Structure 1
Amino acid sequence: MERNIDLSILRKLPELQTQAVLEIRPLAPLSMVGEMPGSFYKTMKYPSKKMLCGLFENMLGWHFDNKLRLEIFKDMTKVRKKQKIELKKEQLKHGSTYLPLLMEYFDISGNISLKEFKSMFNYSDLWNRGYRRSDSNKHLNGCRNIDVSLVAERYNLFTKWNDLSSKESESKKDEWFKYNIGKIPCFYTSPTPREYICLDAVMEIPITLDLMLAEKLLTKNRISSICYLGNSEGWVNVELKQVNI
């Protein structure tokens, strides 16, 4: 991962004056879930603007966790306030917990079309959805494995603490869990139905974007054109072309 990431673009007012065509060729089945899915993750046929924002940030190496994203967004909010523009986190996060940072800097400017089309079909599969409860020993209930050095200790102590009151028992279990969290998987998984689209074609997406963003993406595009779309399993080949600079 890059250590020195230039975020100066986020301090300038976006100017959407550069026209481009984004070409996306799926290299694997895609699952592009647009809304909060509930019990079934239904895919869309084409990516939303928010998904393209994730794609662009992926190209730029902006792999930030939620905590860092919030810090960056707070700084953006202060800058925009001085520029007489109001940023609302709730609007940007609509549909998922992902907080995009480049939504202001481009727009989809026309209809998405397909070229070199050969086939397309949808199917459903079970996907391992990751969960994390770093604040509670309930996390252990979903983990298939923990460090072998903890197995006997956990069994003996948890059995002993079950004789205490519920509040005291949970408190001791939580304390033990947090102390040993380095030997416990960060996530536990649950099989979740998810829909995929298998597309053998190239998506052509007309976009209008800020000149500075266009220059950054073109530079990265020349280095590597492999990214992911929708989720980390949806590998795609990306080409940005016909840019008027």
Structure 2
Amino acid sequence: MLMLKQKRRLINNKHKVMKKEIDISILKEPPKITEKVILEIEPLAPLSMVSDLPGSFYKSLKSPNKKMICGLFENILGWHIDIADRKAIRKELISIRQKGLRDRDEKRAIKTRIENFQSGSTYIPLLYEYFEVGLSVLPEIVSYNDLWSKAYRRSDADVHPRGTMNISYELIPEKRKRPRDEKNPKRIATSELFDIFKNNTGAFPQYYSTPVNREYISCSGVIHVGLDIDMNLLSRLKKALIENNACYLGNSEGWINLKFNEL
């Protein structure tokens, strides 16, 4: 059954722990793309819409691609689903789409098509086949580069403990009594820091940060994106936007207001 149940602490007036369901039943039905709309994206902050495989420089797109819009729509609907559940949902979705087919080639084609939605990233979009992206009309745009803090995780080198700002307070005395770096006596020796890290991994943050160059765009007006979209999905999105039309695009800093204009 295409319905996820997640236990969350939703405090009501009686301070009870309740269950919140994420309704993904729309995926049971094949998409019927019958509606034409203009998606109005009003940036409230500079945007950085980096493609799936950015390389060494995080260059921003001028307009969101289909996978970014998928993520935007899923966030609006509250589909905050981890990768393990997404894989399970995708497997079930393939089974539903293959139901009634006997031809192996047809089944294989459906499986390949749905699995290819993920191509280029670890993100598995669930609404990829429920809309198509058309032309975009852009306002005047100014591009600039800025430093962005990227999170990494590595357990086999000292870059992880050196890249974290915090450690458990219990390790501070141990860190202070270890041998110092010859060139900079104020710092602990690299080998000593790594020794502390590998023996106390749980006392360090799960990720370390490093600055990278990232391109941002500042828009003087609204970005318009033409969409052909499934009627059921459009209805759900419009209903969700009545309560809250503040979303983010590209990364968690790219806040926007969103609006649908039907043609």
In the aligned structure 1, how far is the partner of 2:86 from the partner of 2:62?
28
For this pair of structures, how many residues does the alignment match? 226
Residue from 55, 62, 66 that aligns with 2:83: 66
Matches within 5 A, 1:80-229: 80-82=97-99, 84=107, 85-88=110-113, 91-108=116-133, 110-114=134-138, 117=139, 119-133=140-154, 139-153=160-174, 174=198, 176-177=200-201, 181=202, 183-229=203-249
In the aligned structure 1, how far is the partner of 2:198 from the partner of 2:211?
26
Bigger RCO of structures 1 and 2 (CA < 8 A, at least 6 apart): 1
CA 78–193 in structure 1, closer or farther in 2 if over 3 Å, else same:
same
In structure 2, the residue matched to 1:31 is: 48
In the aligned structure 2, how far is the partner of 1:194 from the partner of 1:173?
30
Whether contact under 8 Å (2:245, 2:257) holds in the other structure is: yes
Whether contact under 8 Å (2:50, 2:61) holds in the other structure is: yes
Residue from 251, 255, 262 that aligns with 1:235: 255
Between 1:40-49 and 1:148-157, the stretch displaced more is 148-157
Report the residue type matching 1:187 in the other structure: Y
CA shift, 1:204, in A, is 1.4
CA shift, 1:137, in A, is 7.4
CA shift, 1:95, in A, is 3.4
Whether contact under 8 Å (1:221, 1:240) holds in the other structure is: no
In the aligned structure 1, how far is the partner of 2:92 from the partner of 2:259?
31
- Consecutive unaligned residues in structure 1, runs of 5 or more: 164-168
CA shift, 1:63, in A, is 1.8
Q: Does 1:18 align with 2:35?
A: yes
Residue deviations 1:28-47, cap 9 Å, x none?
11111124112210011111
Say which one has the larger Rg.
2
Report the residue type matching 2:239 in the other structure: T
Percent identity for Structure 1 against Structure 2: 41
In the aligned structure 1, how far is the partner of 2:122 from the partner of 2:176?
35
In structure 2, the residue matched to 1:44 is: 61
CA shift, 1:222, in A, is 1.1
- Consecutive unaligned residues in structure 2, runs of 5 or more: 1-7, 11-19, 101-106, 180-187
Report the residue type matching 2:48 in the other structure: S
Q: Over aligned residues, Cα RMSD in angstroms?
A: 2.9
CA shift, 1:70, in A, is 2.1
Give the TM-score, by structure 2 length. Answer: 0.75
